[in-house]
Structure 1
Amino acid sequence: MSEELGPVRTEVSDGVLVITIDRPDARNAIDTVTAVAVGAAIDRLDADPSLVSGVITGANDTFCAGMDLKAFLAGEKPSIPGRGFAGIVEGPPEKPIIAAVEGYALAGGFEIALACDMIVAAENARFGLPEVKRGLVAAGGGLMRLPERVPYHLAMEWALTGAMISAEQAAAVHLVNRVTAPGGALAGALEIARAIAENGPLAVRATKQIIVESPAWTRAEMFDKQREISLPVRASEDAREGATAFKEKRAPRWTGR
């Protein structure tokens, strides 16, 4: 079943929430209404126990051209409290989310993709942080996340020149997980998202939390911090169900408890 939240469509498929930005006249650029709608979809992903993972994409063969500059000039601020620009860059979901990129993912659009846990890109995808070309700073997390994903000197070059990055270049430095034929990014992202959704939802959420938070842990505290997150999952009904299903050679029936 699909739903529309203004310029954003959502659809549930096998435990996966697909979020589609649909502003074809603006190349899916983000204005305030769109940011609020994306944020609402991310809230739903985190709150709904039947959803295990998510995918965010753009309609009409374009991912997102970034901030809507017309809205910006009109005084809009396309961000929301707690989640930031586009309803995602400062507060990504606690559950895994994958960007499915066709066409342009530029400026804030690239920052949306970088806020995701994985990226699947079509061969025609193009990434870039061209803000410096407009006298602006890429302040939606791109300058902080990009050096974590690609070599430092390459991140510097791309950010300071505002260069356009092809899917081939992105794949060469492992910025994207998979490259598909044009039109195939969403299917590729759904393949990964559904594989995640087959797993224990408590374990999936905790696994992402550990990967995201552990770089800030000291060596002395890291195993204690990990235990705080992992032990409640180990004691859950789902953990017992997983072991029982393995013993009985059947698919597990997760309850999220």
Structure 2
Amino acid sequence: MILPYGPTRDTVMNDYVLFKMWGPHRLSLIKGHQFYVEQVRKRLLSQFANMEAEAEKASEELVEQSSGRFDPDRHDPSEFYEAANDAGIEFYQLLSDMRDQTRLNVIAGMFHEWEKQLRDWLVREIQHWHQGETPIAKVWSADFGKIADLLESLGWRIRSTDYFTTLDACRLVVNVYKHGDGPALKDLKLKHPEYLEDRLSGSGLPGTLDLVDYTNLKVSDDQFQAFSDAIVAFWRDVPASVAGSEISKPPEWFKKAILGDRAVRL
């Protein structure tokens, strides 16, 4: 491992600790995340709990509004009730779409906050032993895969965990929600098609998944909870401390950033 400037005083196996997750900070991250999810359910998603009743009420209100215009000599009552029923169905569908959009917004905010907190933790730990801004900038700009490479170099086999698979699916869902058609949609179809509602499934038509696009993106409440649980599992699994001797092969992008700063200082 590249020897750091100004190492921390904690030692593990006679080696400097380069990354440390303090217990209180770990607990704070988990509690903050759980508070977010709890309040989102309480203050936002709970408002969609009675959509059927609200749609029925909208249908009844239309009947009442139409009653003043009803003329038994000219109107068929069934037409008014049919129009009211259609209005109720439309109202329910609009509410359902709003609920799904709200949930996706919540998931995007949750994922971005977790990702920022992860990068912030890495940066703060690096600043304890390295003088220079290049690796800091690289950590903030690196894609998800490069950050995973860095975490794996700490001896944390994160890619073999179930929660990493779920977090990667969450990343793709958020990217599809943000960008629509693109590479993330192709990856989501290939790796996690369960987040794309195939409305033609069961129709007997071949290759229906090929017809699915970003408008088919849908995350259930159980899937939302699985994303949340994955974030909690991630924070619980962050190594308490990582010494330099435990980092056998840092990714090239990180190594070059460290060495680049040092070359300037020489």
Q: Which has the higher contact order (CA 8 A, sep 6+)?
A: 2
Assess same fold via TM > 0.5.
no
Q: TM-score range by the shorter chain?
A: under 0.3
